[in-house]
Amino acid sequence: MSIKKEKIFHGIPVSSGFARGPVFVYQPYLPVISERVLKPDDIDSEVERFRRAVRNVEAELRELHQQVGREMGKDFAEFIDVQLALLTDEEVLNETERYIREQLRNAEFAYSQTLKGLTVSGRAAQVPFFRERFADMADVSARVLSVLLGDNLPSIFGVKPGSVLVAHQLPPSDAALLDPAKVAGIVLEAGGKTSHTAIMAKAKEIPAVFGADAILKMIQEGDEILVDGYRGLAILNPSANRLKTYEAEIKREQRRRASLKALVEEAPVTLDGKMIDLSANVEFLIEARQAKDNGARGIGLFRTEYLFLARRRPPTEEEQFEIYRDVAELFRPFPVIIRTFDLGGDKVIPGYTEANPFLGWRAIRFCLDDIALFKNQLRAILRASAAGNVKIMFPMVATIEELRRAKLVLEEAKKELRKEGKPFDENVEVGVMVETPSAAILAQQFARESRFLSIGSNDLTQYTLAVDRGNERVARLFDHFHPAVLRLIKNTIDAAHEQGIWVGMCGEFGADPMGVVLLLGMGVDEISVVPGLLPETKQVIRSIDTGVAAEVAHQALKLSTALEVERLLEREVHHRFTKLARSLHAVKGAGGE
């Protein structure tokens, strides 16, 4: 019997961790659609057959919605709402029925032709938001066509425990049903980090790599695969040497996780006794629960964009209130900082495109141009403040005028709630997310009119260096250790403290161990990272003396290049932070706004 040759596929690291197991190939549903010419007398019955298929699928999705809501939270069930919206889209339904009546064609053919036209026009737009919704549309259409054709859809329930699921794409409705006890890992040929399937993989903590191009062409029966969710590698039929190397790394990872688990109940306090508020960046209720289990002392950044993007309409006040309230209650008495809609840039506004979205109509600018939508969200946040320690944060503020206008809208929302007799925290704290150079330079002025400042290092870095962090051609220039970025961060921290308010970091910088050294040396009060990195970040914090870190930060701020800063940190960490140096090999840098 010949030994199968090892083959390495490079992809996108979507969900961290390691997995090894036999390949389970998820075969997509490829319907065979024939074209039939109808008799005029058959038109009404064919239209009804189409409507009945849609109703059947709608019932299936509503049942799935309830299941996902029970298992993962009602906010996660919003993904199924996206599919329900696509299923019942009036344009699709009306165009399909028109095609049946005018072209005298069978329902499945009419439906497929309608979707083909929409898909072509959507792909031509090359908009990331719509590209990532094709998976949802494909999922919905497959369900409708299977009913019309009387076919059975492929099922993930046949996967054997310990298997690695490999597919071109995984429908979001199937991803919602993945059982981590059975599926050890996921490898997809397509998909992005912000797709629904990616988010579900991370929430279920299943190691995943997407973008492993053409892997299905190489798979044979009996193959084994190794998933490296840290480096974005899928290794088909790993060699004995490869397995030996990874087995050692996996054992180290297991030991590290076990030791970090013991830190959950420990305080995030430095060697010299400074308490740091270690919080979490979250987007979903299930992530908030994970954050609490990992020892978070609050939510430093609660993103709310998914509430908007998961629908084809803005979320109602009540829909928002229920989710904000649940998170506030979960973390009471610790703070939950809710960021108002940060739409635009890499978070595309449905139906809207522009040439340079990162410099265009986004975040606070978008909200101040749609006062009704903005006030609706502020009312929901205010109402949730009655259930816990809620704070409000405005994103991408570049001018004092923007902050003042936003606070005026907030006061109007408070006035309305008082009149309606709805309770809220009259002293709810309002802060600014410092992610534009203008906000960092004018930090003194912003601090005078805010209760806290939170630095978003990802956008602050790209705006300071004029580098689009999503552009592969200039990605190498994106470096948050650039001295210009460090000086803006230091200026923001100093300005906040001079005005007597606290300052936090909720960007990727705060999840980098070397970044934590600088932040503590600069005097930051709070650090917020993704839930999975809370134990690692706490370990770093507990390994640092802030006095020594201050000396290192002082030296770093005098340097001229990011490379010089990084070399300084590497040298000083190994010479002056021996406890941190011993654990650094186990800490993975990740996070983000």
- The catalytic residues are 196, 506
Nearest in space to 393 (alpha carbons), one of 518, 249, 502 = 502
Using alpha carbons only, what angle is made at residue 512 by residues 510 and 518, rounded to the nearest 5 degrees? 70
Whole-number Å distance between alpha carbons of 293 and 287: 10
**Euclidean distance between the first and final Cα of the chain, in Å?**
51
To the question of whether residue 312 is assigned a binding role by annotation, the answer is: no
State which amino acid sits at residue 40.
P
Q: List the one residue out of 278, 274, 258, 281 whose CA is nearest residue 327.
A: 281
Is position 98 annotated in a ligand binding site?
no
Calpha distance 507→516 (Å, rounded):
11
How many CB atoms within 10 Å of residue 89?
15
Backbone angles phi, psi at 592, to 5 degrees: 125, 165
Enumerate the β-bridge partners of residue 269: 275
Q: Does 362 carry a binding-site annotation?
A: no
223 known member of a binding site: no
C-alpha to C-alpha distance for 32 and 35, rounded to whole angstroms: 10
Cα distance between residue 264 and residue 97, in whole Å: 57
Nearest residue to 257 via CA among 207, 302, 327:
207
Angstrom distance (rounded) from CA 50 to CA 498: 67
Q: 425: which DSSP letter?
A: -
> With contact defined as beta carbons under 8 Å apart, do 374 and 340 qualify?
yes
Radius of gyration of the chain (CA): 26
Tokens linked to 497: 């403290």
In angstroms, rounded to a whole number, what is the distance separating the alpha carbons of residues 248 and 242?
Answer: 10
From CA 5, how far away is CA 12, in angstroms rounded?
Answer: 23
Chain position carrying tokens 């039929």: 237
Contact call for residues 128 and 346 (beta carbons, < 8 A): yes
DSSP annotation of 269: B
Furthest C-alpha separation in the chain: 87
325 is in an annotated binding site: no
303 annotated to bind ligand: yes
The whole-angstrom separation of Cα 586 and Cα 589 is 10
Any residues with CB less than 8 A from the CB of 246 and at least 6 apart, and which?
18, 20, 226, 228, 238
For residue 280, give the nearest of 308, 262, 254, 303 by alpha carbon. 303
Given its phi and psi angles, is residue 232 left (phi above 0), alpha (psi -120 to 50 degrees) or beta? left
Binding-site residue set: 303, 339, 435, 458-459, 469
Binding-site residue set for phosphoenolpyruvate: 303, 339, 458-459, 469
Binding-site residue set for Mg(2+): 435, 459
